[in-house]
Amino acid sequence: MYEVLLVLMMTTGLAVVVARPTTSAPKLVAERAFWPAYQRLWTATRQLAVRRRARYVVHIDSDHHQVEVLTTTTPARQVSRLPIPRSLTLADERAPIWDLKIYESGWAQGTTVEWYSQANHRWWYQAFQLRGAMIHVTSETTRRPPKAKAA
């Protein structure tokens, strides 16, 4: 009788451990979906800037977990919005907010935005290259050393 009860408890415990979904899985799925959505938002904003001959600001607000596209007119008007997964934060010590400008020509300043994922504890680097025409996203297990400032 005790043996049957012991085997039943062990089987139930093992089934609970194996069948329990991990809490980071939905976060990882949200992060994977974020990068292509961000790419589409960026590309659409560049096309809009060229078509309307207007400047736009891509406002990344890590504290409020959103990316907004704003006009540069006064008052600024929100054009579009993309939620940032809660597990992703900007890793810049200067500020949890970045403003990336897109000019009338569709050009943007080349830069790299550094993110940290709490879901898989990785560093994500979002590089804007070729005057903003291309975004390259890479992931690393360790943080890159800070770049030396030009004298």
Query: Which residue range forms the structural domain that includes residue 129?
Result: 23-140
- The CATH number given to whatever domain includes residue 94 is 3.55.40.10
- Cα angle vertex 22, ends 115, 20, to 5°? 175
Backbone φ and ψ of 3, nearest 5°: -65, -40
In a domain, 92, yes or no: yes
Over its C-alpha atoms, the chain yields an Rg (Å, rounded) of 22
In 2-120 the beta strands, taken as DSSP E runs, fall at 56-61, 66-71, 78-83, 88-90, 97-102, 111-117
pTM: 0.75
pLDDT band for position 130 (50/70/90)?
confident
Number of domains in the chain: 1
Q: Of 149 and 26, which is predicted with more confidence?
A: 26
Mean pLDDT, residues 98-124: 90
Distance CA 123, CA 108 (A): 23
